[in-house]
């Protein structure tokens, strides 16, 4: 026995590199956020800290300038005393330059001329100036007689350097916090994703009982709901497929069994010569039944294809009903079923594929004729969908058969649903005809519904779209 050829399975997931994982990206993002936060804080805090330090230095320099002015005011500036010299030395030891102004002239160069002039004019000076080509804090105090004293302190980049050097510790702490927060966040985010990936792998392997726990946050809960819904839908779909295959296999086996039995009888010479024509007709009928089943299966398989052939165009449903009546009147009369057409005298325009809609009508009539008892009617009705011809038309097939229950209406167009429900209970078809008709109508842009007929059986109503040309001209 030949072994079945097993196709290649789904590709294995690629090996993960840490740099491409959610954990690594979360860590990088949190580290980047921490780094940006530290830098933004530095951009805001460092100038404030530097200005605060300079303000403190300015206040301290102003206090020392007042002290120097008080000491020098005791005597004339031209006179030297020990206290004044000692104060000047102490200030210079603190990197504070002292300039003495006598008769409107500084004792040495370096001070801006406007500072000297202002102090000599008897006004105090406070602020930042260029002294000797360098930016410095300046505090000048006027003394009597056009004299004065000016204290300067260079504003070097000491505060900036000091503040910037102190940033490495918060920067390091921020990066460490970013790594820790990133790892924690990545674990929290990746855990439900890994759970969902594991569940998806189990679904791919055929485990339809898998379920993902629903837990917050909302996005994770939505993912869990989606996967659980997918698992339930797959289980339902596969269950229906199994039931459909079982019913189809039973339908295929019935004509095959009859054909095989008669073929064996003919091969063994058991059938009398005068019974051969009847046997041939039986075999032909069963083979036609088998051919219809296979054709329906192929049509159902092709319905979902993107290249399913459709050639829509303007169709007169009244003429369509008249053409169908010529075929189905004799077929129904042969089994004792009255056939009736209800159609207006005027044309009923629609925009559809004439071959496909005739296929739908023939399929619905075939289904009705299969279940209706002798003497009960089969009706093909056509009417406009509205007062405007551009609204399309309606085709309805009614019968006096067993009809549908209210529960049947919800599953009337599902493959094999009615066959599975009524097999062995009453006369029923393969369950493919209504599913095929519903699929064709949907591809044609129409709607199909099932209901109860006034004749006592089923009513299958197809609504078809109108001619778009009529819609444009009426607009």
C-alpha 254: how far from chain center: 48
To the nearest 10 degrees (0 to 180), the angle between helices 158-165 and 22-74 is 150
The verdict on residue 72 lying in a domain is yes
pLDDT of residue 4: 40
The verdict on residue 192 lying in a domain is no
Quick one: 320 and 469 in the same domain?
yes
* Position 378 pLDDT exceeds 80: yes
pLDDT of residue 273: 80
Quick one: 288 and 358 in the same domain?
no
382 burial (CB, 10 Å; 0-12 / 13-18 / 19+) is: buried
Give the residue numbers spanning the domain of 262. Answer: 237-303
Quick one: 30 and 75 in the same domain?
yes
243 burial (CB, 10 Å; 0-12 / 13-18 / 19+) is: middle
Quick one: 298 and 338 in the same domain?
no
Quick one: 332 and 456 in the same domain?
yes
Quick one: 275 and 328 in the same domain?
no
The verdict on residue 198 lying in a domain is no
CA end-to-end distance (rounded Å), the chain: 68
The verdict on residue 419 lying in a domain is yes
- Band of the pLDDT at 5, cuts 50, 70, 90? very low
pLDDT of residue 126: 87
Q: Which of 188-197, 273-282, 288-297 has the lowest mean pLDDT?
A: 288-297
Give tens-digit pLDDT for 133-181: 788 888 888 888 778 888 888 876 555 666 666 666 776 776 777 777 7
Residue at which a domain ends, from 303, 334, 353: 303
Provide mean pLDDT across the span 337-350.
Answer: 92
pLDDT of residue 10: 47
* Position 9 pLDDT exceeds 60: no
Quick one: 254 and 129 in the same domain?
no
- Band of the pLDDT at 21, cuts 50, 70, 90? low
Quick one: 321 and 273 in the same domain?
no
pLDDT of residue 462: 94
CATH code of the domain containing 358: 3.30.565.10
Residues facing 131 on adjacent strands: 134
- Band of the pLDDT at 37, cuts 50, 70, 90? confident
All residues at 6 or more sequence positions from 474 whose CB lies less than 8 Å from its CB, including other chains: 388, 390
Residues facing 314 on adjacent strands: 351
Number of domains present in the structure of the chain: 3
Quick one: 299 and 317 in the same domain?
no
Quick one: 323 and 469 in the same domain?
yes
Tokens (6 digits) for 470: 């009529």
The verdict on residue 4 lying in a domain is no
pLDDT of residue 399: 92
How far apart are alpha carbons 247 and 418 in whole angstroms? 10
Nearest to 58 by CA among 2, 107, 147, 125: 125
* Position 460 pLDDT exceeds 50: yes
Residue at which a domain ends, from 131, 165, 199: 165
Give tens-digit pLDDT for 184-228: 777 777 777 778 888 888 888 878 788 888 877 777 788 888 888
Quick one: 295 and 325 in the same domain?
no
* Position 254 pLDDT exceeds 90: no
The verdict on residue 211 lying in a domain is no
- Band of the pLDDT at 2, cuts 50, 70, 90? very low
Q: Give percent above pLDDT 70 in the chain.
A: 76
Q: Is 141 helix (H, G, I), strand (E, B) or coil?
A: strand
Provide mean pLDDT across the span 252-274.
Answer: 80
* Position 16 pLDDT exceeds 70: no
How far apart are alpha carbons 42 and 39 in whole angstroms? 5
365 burial (CB, 10 Å; 0-12 / 13-18 / 19+) is: buried
109 burial (CB, 10 Å; 0-12 / 13-18 / 19+) is: exposed
pLDDT of residue 197: 80
Give tens-digit pLDDT for 77-122: 445 556 667 777 778 777 788 888 887 888 888 888 888 888 888 8
Residue at which a domain ends, from 303, 330, 359: 303
Give tens-digit pLDDT for 436-454: 788 888 888 899 999 999 9
Rounded mean pLDDT of the chain? 78
Quick one: 318 and 465 in the same domain?
yes
The pTM of this model reads: 0.47
How far apart are alpha carbons 431 and 409 in whole angstroms? 14
* CB 465 within 8 Å of CB 389: no
Tokens (6 digits) for 193: 């994703």
The verdict on residue 132 lying in a domain is yes
Higher pLDDT, 305 or 231: 231
CATH code of the domain containing 249: 1.10.287.130
How far apart are alpha carbons 337 and 397 in whole angstroms? 14
């Amino acid at each position: 026995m030949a072994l079945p050829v097993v196709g290649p399975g789904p590709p294995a997931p690629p090996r993960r590199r840490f740099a491409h994982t959610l954990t690594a990206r979360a860590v990088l993002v949190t580290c980047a956020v921490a780094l940006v936060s530290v830098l933004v804080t530095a951009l805001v805090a460092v100038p404030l800290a530097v200005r605060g330090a300079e303000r403190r230095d300015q206040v301290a320099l102003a206090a020392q300038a007042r002290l120097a002015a008080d000491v020098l005011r005791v005597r004339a500036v031209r006179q030297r005393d020990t206290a004044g010299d000692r104060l000047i030395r102490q200030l210079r030891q603190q990197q504070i330059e002292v300039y003495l102004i006598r008769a409107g002239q500084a004792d040495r160069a370096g001070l801006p001329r406007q500072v000297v002039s202002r102090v000599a004019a008897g006004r105090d000076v406070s602020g930042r100036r260029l002294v000797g080509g360098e930016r410095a804090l300046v505090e000048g105090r006027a003394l009597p007689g056009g004299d004065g004293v000016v204290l300067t302190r260079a504003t070097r980049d000491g505060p900036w350097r000091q503040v910037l050097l102190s940033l490495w510790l918060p920067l390091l702490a921020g990066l460490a916090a970013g790594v820790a927060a990133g790892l924690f966040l990545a674990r929290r985010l990746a855990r439900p994703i890994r759970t969902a990936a594991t569940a998806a792998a189990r679904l791919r392997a055929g485990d339809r009982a898998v379920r993902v726990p629903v837990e917050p946050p909302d996005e994770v809960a939505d993912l869990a709901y989606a996967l659980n819904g997918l698992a339930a839908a797959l289980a339902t779909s596969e269950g229906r497929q199994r039931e459909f295959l079982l019913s189809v296999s039973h339908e295929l086996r019935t004509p095959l069994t009859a054909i095989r039995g008669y073929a064996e009888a003919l091969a063994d010479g058991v059938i009398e010569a005068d019974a051969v024509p009847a046997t041939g007709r039986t075999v032909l009928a069963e083979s036609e039944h088998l051919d219809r089943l296979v054709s329906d299966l192929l049509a159902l398989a092709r319905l979902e294809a993107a290249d399913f052939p459709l050639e829509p165009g303007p169709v007169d449903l009244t003429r369509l009903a008249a053409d169908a009546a010529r075929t189905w009147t004799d077929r129904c009369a042969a089994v004792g079923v009255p056939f009736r057409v209800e159609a207006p005298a005027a044309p009923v325009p629609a925009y559809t594929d004439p071959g496909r809609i005739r296929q739908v009508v023939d399929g619905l009539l075939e289904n009705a004729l299969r279940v209706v008892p002798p003497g009960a009617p089969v009706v093909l009705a056509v009417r406009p969908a509205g007062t405007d011809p551009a609204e399309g038309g309606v085709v309805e097939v009614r019968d006096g058969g067993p009809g549908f229950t209210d529960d049947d209406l919800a599953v009337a167009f599902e493959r094999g649903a009615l066959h599975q429900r009524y097999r062995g209970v009453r006369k029923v078809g393969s369950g493919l005809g209504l599913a095929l008709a519903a699929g064709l109508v949907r591809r044609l842009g129409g709607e199909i519904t099932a209901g109860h007929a006034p004749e006592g059986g089923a009513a299958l109503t197809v609504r078809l779209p109108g001619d778009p040309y009529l819609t444009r001209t009426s607009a």
